[in-house]
């Protein structure tokens, strides 16, 4: 994909999805996006994972979605062009906010670790993160909270 086409697609995807992408931060690592809860779903444009590096489209592993109606953010991991995992970022140990680190999640409070699918890998947390089904179409990802 050429740079001009990428920019055009990205802008159209954001506008069409009704996504407030104003909170995108930086071009690498974890990106932060706000969304609104509508009919039990949060909408995230697939283009939120994309960034340009040396005229090439690259993809972040994580996008963290924040919504005013949801107390903790939701981490969405991009496993492939059409494969995503969504985990609620409230640690199951004592409720701190876990953070994406590469391809896993880590709790800054006591060091628990969870894989990209929210399964606990290291305690003290004894339970997996809450996860959500993810649906997709050509442009968007829908996190189903119901
Ligand atoms: S609150 Fe996360 S490890 Fe303790």
CA of 92 to the centre of ligand 1 (A): 7
pLDDT per residue over 57-115, tens digit each? 998 899 999 999 899 999 999 998 899 999 999 999 999 999 999 889 999 999 999 99
Domain regions of the chain by residue span: 3-90+130-144
**Closest to 52 measured CA to CA, from 32, 26, 34:** 26
Atom of ligand 1 nearest to the CA of 108: 2
Is the separation of the CB atoms in 117 and 124 below 8 Å?
Answer: no
Which mutation among 97, 124, 126, 129 tests ligand 1's pocket best, with the greatest number of atoms within 8 A of CB? Answer: 124
pLDDT per residue over 20-60, tens digit each? 343 443 345 678 989 988 899 999 999 999 988 899 999 88
**Closest to 45 measured CA to CA, from 66, 16, 5:** 16
What is the value of pTM for the model shown?
Answer: 0.79
Average pLDDT over residues 111-125: 96
Cis peptide before 83 (omega within 30 of 0): no
């Amino acid at each position: 994909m050429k740079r001009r086409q990428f920019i055009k697609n990205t802008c159209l995807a954001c506008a069409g999805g009704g996504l407030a992408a104003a909170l995108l931060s930086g071009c690498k690592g974890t990106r932060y996006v706000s969304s609104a809860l509508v009919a039990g779903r949060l909408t995230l444009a697939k283009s939120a994972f994309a960034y340009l590096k040396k005229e090439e489209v690259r993809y972040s592993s994580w996008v963290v979605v924040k919504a005013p109606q949801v107390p903790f953010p939701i981490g969405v991991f991009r496993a492939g062009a059409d494969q995503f995992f969504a985990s609620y970022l409230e640690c199951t140990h004592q409720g701190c906010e876990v953070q994406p680190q590469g391809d896993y999640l880590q709790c800054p409070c006591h060091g628990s670790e969870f894989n990209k699918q929210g399964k606990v890998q290291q305690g003290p947390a004894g339970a997996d993160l809450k996860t959500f089904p993810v649906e997709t179409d050509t442009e968007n990802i829908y996190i189903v909270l119901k």
